[in-house]
Structure 1
């Protein structure tokens, strides 16, 4: 059962397309409340200092229910980040692969951030700050990013291509630099501009001379 605070938070979220069955709708609602409450609770108390049971008590769900939805405390804390990369892979699948691959990677990220809603943006910035303050979360985030890079390579060619692997590494670095520029103000409207500047600077940087 979800407590009153969780219901209030849920009511403020942007409505998303609903799954077909009542069971699926309940599961989605539980996942969303757990993810939002986790970011709020871990921000207030610290990720490493807050046991999983504190989150379960806040949302009033059992461990069994939690582990049907998330693999770990790190997993629920990074929901916004994982939603971003999942959406990015979807965009890549929909995008025609023509022209320079660096432009394909950049444009896919621009399309991804444009399709994220206000609820996601409200959770994303605090999630990035949580990662910066927790070695456990940072390690989990880096492992997930490495997995995503392999999946990106599989969509663009072959993961065994050194040139492609390096290009994806550069693109991910450009994305991180864009986030560094964006984080102080966290204006959703500014993130696309930060992405464009970071990719343009990366391209120029590769031609720097000593």
Structure 2
């Protein structure tokens, strides 16, 4: 039994296993057969669950295809909410991201890479990914606003969060363009390199 499930009650372990099985099988079927050619019923049959069970875990085919993204950001939002926010917001967000990435399950980067490749190839997933990014950014602004100096204007916090999200997207796109070379360690190095380049990027000339 994996360490991250060992301490959960039996009911919760079953729920996590079902969610993981749906996400893993979805990536396999979408890659092998094509996203549009794979129906929700195909996925449910392959995992041997009902549509009702599917919708208890995911809202749509798009959601299950991009489960690696939501797994990361759900964990990240929890980590930000639990973290004491001191100093520059972007620095605190970057450090917390490194912590969250280090705690993702051993197979996460493979699933994330596969999801990114699918997203690049399927317009519906591209649109869903952008919408999810917007929702996550909004949620992150809300969490940061609740934990920051009350004297900081909301629009300044939003700007800091938007820069953070743009830096993450830039780093992750660089990593996926390299085919996930070096696995998670290389991704984390690119994250650090990208954040370090923000000051120079802000003064770059055309």
Range into which the TM-score falls when normalised by the shorter chain: 0.7 to 0.9
Counterparts of 2:3 and 2:21, CA distance in 1:
13
Partner of 1:5: none
Which segments of 5 or more consecutive residues in structure 1 lack a partner in the other structure? 1-10
Q: 1:134 aligns with which of 115, 118, 122?
A: 122
- TM-score scaled by structure 1? 0.86
Q: 1:60 aligns with which of 43, 48, 69?
A: 48
Q: Say whether residues 1:207 and 2:200 are aligned partners.
A: no
Task: Give the ranges of 4+ consecutive aligned residues of structure 1 lying more than 6 Å apart after TM superposition.
Answer: none
**By how many angstroms is 1:125 displaced?**
0.6
Q: Say whether residues 1:161 and 2:146 are aligned partners.
A: no
Given that 1:113 and 1:191 are in contact with CA atoms closer than 8 Å, whether structure 2 keeps it comes out as no
The 1:33/1:165 distance shift into structure 2, 3 A limit, reads: same
**By how many angstroms is 1:15 displaced?**
4.4
Q: 2:71 aligns with which of 83, 87, 90?
A: 83
Q: 1:99 aligns with which of 78, 87, 108?
A: 87
The 1:111/1:20 distance shift into structure 2, 3 A limit, reads: closer
- TM-score scaled by structure 2? 0.87
RMSD over aligned Cα atoms: 2.0
The Cα offsets for residues 137-177 of structure 1, whole Å up to 9 and x where unpaired, read as 11111111111111111122279722222221111111111
Deviates more, 1:19-28 or 1:60-69: 19-28
Partner of 2:22: 34
